[in-house]
Structure 1
């Protein structure tokens, strides 16, 4: 088996000073205080502090990116959506969903072969349609809330003379309303 000596390092665990010089295939092997093996940073103490720090920082960055997505990108994609989303053609809804998929893929740095459903599940982010249904249900819950100041916050108006349902009624119909749970910031499933 061919070994790349340039990528080989020696790590002395627990000792203060390195032992004698090691050689491999006639080349000196460098002594290091920490090494990276398969993405894990191992230090002399074997307490895995650098690996844990890296994992915590990556998780915090992903959470911040997800919140930025919810605050800036999704708010633009779904602005006033309960009023118009039910009236859109399927192709227009698909365009909005594609944009969400692109944003989430960019946030998590997912390669092409990772499915959009996997990204949504891992980031606990609902599809655009699930989110719009959730927002429409919030208005219905506000009308039935014990808090009087929420009543009529977004009232349903009378149907037009032709009898067509209002967009929010279309969204709230049991056949088109997926029931997804959301966390405290409305970003995804609990």
Structure 2
């Protein structure tokens, strides 16, 4: 998943670089936030329900860093303002929360759709170790999260 995360990070950086004049302009914060929501998160989370849970925590943090940098540029926040505070004030979910929401909506559509072969597509078991005997990264059970929430 290293190449996928690196590709997604480079796409987000490129989008942020192209949008820098807009994000640092004197537009109202609401307009800048709308532009951000249109371009940057879609690049950070492209097909994320399929690959996000296979990434290591280091890769998760790389994605979150890209979101934090974008929000700091957008708000022109000082260097000592916590990223959590910026995200909370702008009501922007973390990358992980956003991906979990995407996955929940995707699996809900599959469960409630007309295609019977897509119903209950999420496995309810844990992953076995790989060929070397090491356990694979923990796969989050979106179904379990969805049923609990």
What TM-score, normalized to structure 1?
A: 0.49
Q: CA deviation at 1:171?
A: 4.8
Is the contact between residue 133 and residue 178 of structure 1 (CA under 8 Å) also seen in structure 2? no
Q: CA deviation at 1:97?
A: 0.3
1: distance between equivalents of 2:148 and 2:79?
27
Q: Which runs of 5+ in 1 are unaligned?
A: 1-57, 180-190
Q: Which runs of 5+ in 2 are unaligned?
A: 1-25, 129-136
Partner of 1:70: 37
- Match 1:132 to one of 87, 99, 104: 99
**How far does the alpha carbon of each residue in 1:101-149 deviate from its partner, in whole angstroms, 9 at most, with x for none?**
000011011101111111011100000000000000001221344xx46
Size of the aligned set, in residue pairs, is 114
Structure ranking higher in helix proportion:
2
Higher relative contact order (CA closer than 8 Å, sequence separation 6+): 2
2: distance between equivalents of 1:75 and 1:101?
15
Is the contact between residue 44 and residue 63 of structure 2 (CA under 8 Å) also seen in structure 1? yes
Is the contact between residue 130 and residue 178 of structure 1 (CA under 8 Å) also seen in structure 2? no
Structure ranking higher in strand proportion:
1
What TM-score, normalized to structure 2?
A: 0.62
CA 1:136–1:158: 2 relative to 1, 3 Å: closer
Is the contact between residue 33 and residue 74 of structure 2 (CA under 8 Å) also seen in structure 1? yes
